């Protein structure tokens, strides 16, 4: 198969970029794979690409030092918004404008591929609107249907049914998209994200460390995690919380640490380039999200043999964690329940060990080979159906 991925900026660092690169690298072992980036802001992509994966950028951003000089017409087009996109998508600076739309339409018309996979709502809408029907057009959604803006949902109702299929990360997502869009019964398909390739370090589960990781934004619920860990530290003062990430709430969270008297027990460690290595230093992963699109940190923790205590929030943790086997699920937003779950694993090393072993076994379903096989089977079936 000849497979092309369409992404906003393949040179950036982010969850969608990482999962797209992981999948492209794995598929390249048996297929012709290309990544088409709407924008480019630097010389090299952040995530390493298999040399067999072709990468091209349609419209390098003006702030990139290597960008070719644009004409006055290009500069004028770059200032013009895309009228047909919902505002939440059209506002993505340097990605969606009249200049990049023109480049995208030209690229799609000449695309030599069997399959086009678009990776965010604006690109799904563009593929539905502009991609030739000779391509198998597959949209990807990393966000639950209910978390989209009203504008995105309206545009999706109008345009998404033109796509040949949509892949989502959870069964709850599949049901939601299938229910609210007028599409055939098997139009939406659940295929989870894959783990990165390579070996993961094995956690000894002996260090008195609870780990959390993710963007320091309100959706991650780190305010509730700190409240819960204050209850943990009151009973087990030798235990520490390490929170890896950065974001707009960092200063507020640091003040909360001081207010709760956790200066010696909780630390914001900034973002890390080796999250598996840091996860393996911990004995428990804490997930306090108010909402999750999937839960990449959970499956990475599983791959290190680290059990998880998580809010059973919409929509990912409950489909990844088997309560009582490889982790514990507590009611969403329940600070007391989160603290109790952490203390249960802290106080029972044998339980940690059993759950860690179960987590390792569960991680096998998310290995690149397993997820890639699901993609290959899905794409081959859809191509065969079209023929």
Report the pLDDT averaged over residues 129-144: 95
In the prediction, which pLDDT does 92 show?
66
pLDDT in tens, 291-321: 888 889 999 999 999 999 999 998 889 999 9
- The tally of CA atoms less than 13 A away on the side-chain side of residue 133 is 4
pLDDT in tens, 251-273: 999 999 999 999 999 999 988 88
pLDDT in tens, 32-89: 999 999 888 788 898 889 999 999 988 766 555 455 556 656 667 667 778 888 888 8
- Percent of the chain exceeding pLDDT 90 equals 73
Query: What is the residue-averaged pLDDT of the chain?
Result: 92
Domains and CATH numbers, the chain: 2-194+367-386 (3.40.50.2000), 209-366 (3.40.50.2000)
Residue 102 pLDDT level (bands cut at 50, 70, 90) = confident
**Whether the predicted pLDDT of 144 surpasses 90:** no
pLDDT in tens, 153-178: 999 999 999 999 999 999 999 999 99
Report the pLDDT averaged over residues 328-342: 98
In the prediction, which pLDDT does 242 show?
98
Report the pLDDT averaged over residues 331-358: 98
**Whether the predicted pLDDT of 193 surpasses 80:** yes
Q: What is the C-alpha to C-alpha distance for residues 130 and 383, in angstroms, rounded to an integer?
A: 20
Report the pLDDT averaged over residues 98-111: 90
**Whether the predicted pLDDT of 287 surpasses 70:** yes
Report the pLDDT averaged over residues 89-99: 75
DSSP annotation of 202 reads: P
In the prediction, which pLDDT does 101 show?
86
In the prediction, which pLDDT does 46 show?
86
In three-state secondary structure terms, 175 is helix
Report the pLDDT averaged over residues 195-201: 89
Q: What is the C-alpha to C-alpha distance for residues 223 and 366, in angstroms, rounded to an integer?
A: 30
In the prediction, which pLDDT does 357 show?
98
Q: What is the C-alpha to C-alpha distance for residues 373 and 194, in angstroms, rounded to an integer?
A: 11
Where does the chain have alpha helices with state H?
Answer: 15-27, 72-78, 87-90, 98-109, 121-130, 150-159, 171-180, 222-235, 250-259, 275-279, 296-303, 317-320, 335-346, 349-363, 368-386
The β-bridge partners of 287 are 310
Which one, of 117, 112, 106, 102, lies nearest residue 134 by Cα? 112
In the prediction, which pLDDT does 95 show?
81
Q: What is the C-alpha to C-alpha distance for residues 383 and 333, in angstroms, rounded to an integer?
A: 44
């Amino acid at each position: 198969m000849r497979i092309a991925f369409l992404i906003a900026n393949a040179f950036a660092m982010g969850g969608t970029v990482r999962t797209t690169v992981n999948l492209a690298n794995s598929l390249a072992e048996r297929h012709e794979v290309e990544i088409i980036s709407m924008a480019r802001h630097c010389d090299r992509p952040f995530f390493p690409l298999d040399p067999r994966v072709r990468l091209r950028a349609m419209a390098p951003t003006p702030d990139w030092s290597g960008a070719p000089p644009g004409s006055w017409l290009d500069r004028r087009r770059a200032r013009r918004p895309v009228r047909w996109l919902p505002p939440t998508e059209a506002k993505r600076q340097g990605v969606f404008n009249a200049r990049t739309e023109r480049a995208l339409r030209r690229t799609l018309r000449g695309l030599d591929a069997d399959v086009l996979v678009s990776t965010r709502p604006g690109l799904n809408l563009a593929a539905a609107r502009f991609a030739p029907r000779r391509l198998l057009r597959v949209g990807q959604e990393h966000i639950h249907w209910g978390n989209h803006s009203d504008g995105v949902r309206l545009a999706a109702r109008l345009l998404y049914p033109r796509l040949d299929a949509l892949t989502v990360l959870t069964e709850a997502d599949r049901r939601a998209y299938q229910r609210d869009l007028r599409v055939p019964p098997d139009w939406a398909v659940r295929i989870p994200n894959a783990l990165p390739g390579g070996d993961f370090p094995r956690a000894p589960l002996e260090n008195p460390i609870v780990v959390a990781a993710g963007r320091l934004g309100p959706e991650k619920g780190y305010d509730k995690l700190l409240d819960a860990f204050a209850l943990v530290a009151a009973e087990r003062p030798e235990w520490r919380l390490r929170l890896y990430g950065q974001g707009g709430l960092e200063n507020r969270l640091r003040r909360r640490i001081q207010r709760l008297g956790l200066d010696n027990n909780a630390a914001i460690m900034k973002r890390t380039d080796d999250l598996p290595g840091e996860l393996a230093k911990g004995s428990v992963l804490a997930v306090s999200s108010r909402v999750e699109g999937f839960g990449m940190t959970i499956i990475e923790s599983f791959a290190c043999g680290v059990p998880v205590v998580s809010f059973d929030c919409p929509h990912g943790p409950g489909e990844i964690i088997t309560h009582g086997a490889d982790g514990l699920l507590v009611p969403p937003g329940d600070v007391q329940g989160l603290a109790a779950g952490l203390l249960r694993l802290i106080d029972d090393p044998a339980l940690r060990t059993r759950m860690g072993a179960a987590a390792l076994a569960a991680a096998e379903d998310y290995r690149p080979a397993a997820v890639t096989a699901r993609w290959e089977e899905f794409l081959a079936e859809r191509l065969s159906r079209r023929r």
